[in-house]
Amino acid sequence: MQDSFGIGRLAAAAEAKVQTIRYYEQIGLLRHPDRTDGNQRRYGTADVERLRFIRHARELGFPLEAIRDLLSLADEPDRPCDAADAIAGAQLAEVRRRIRSLQALETELQRMVRQCEGGRISDCRVIEALSDHSACSHGGAADSAG
């Protein structure tokens, strides 16, 4: 096979780690490759493209299960794209939720810094707010940011 190459070359071509490739094979996002007589994995250009797809989806924050669904949809190019739109829409909603949470964290940190008057740690508003959750103005918004 002319476009056959090993896992190291696949990793370099798709800018991924070898361990990541093996993990994606293990969980079924990448096919189990053909093996040589010496039991080395052999990949083709389709594997590079699939791995790049997965990497890009991960960079956009898609969870692995959504990527699995998107790959399944991509394997059937004649299907309507409603399902792919719904998956992307759910990811957009999650990103917006995280942005709101981060904005609440930013506001709280700005408030803590503004209230800090310098001086001694015993009077430090930053330490007080971090020690006593009720001293925060956000009402627990930081709890959902993780």
Q: For the chain, what is the HEC assignment?
A: CCCCECHHHHHHHHCCCHHHHHHHHHCCCCCCCEECCCCCEEECHHHHHHHHHHHHHHHCCCCHHHHHHHHHHHCCCCCCCHHHHHHHHHHHHHHHHHHHHHHHHHHHHHHHHHHCCCCCHHHCHHHHHHHCHHHCCCCCHHHHCC
97, amino acid identity: R
Domain 7-74 coded CATH 1.10.1660.10: yes
Supply the mean pLDDT for the chain. Answer: 87
Q: Are 60 and 47 in contact (CB under 8 A)?
A: no
User: Which tens digit of pLDDT belongs to each residue from 27-81?
Assistant: 999 999 988 888 889 999 999 999 999 999 999 999 999 999 999 999 999 999 9
Q: Which of 75, 11, 72, 71 is nearest to 41 (CA)?
A: 11
Indicate the pTM of the whole model. 0.74
pLDDT at 145: 44
Contacts for 72 with CB less than 8 Å, ≥ 6 apart: none
User: Which tens digit of pLDDT belongs to each residue from 130-144?
Assistant: 787 776 665 554 444
The two tokens of residue 114 are 């503004």
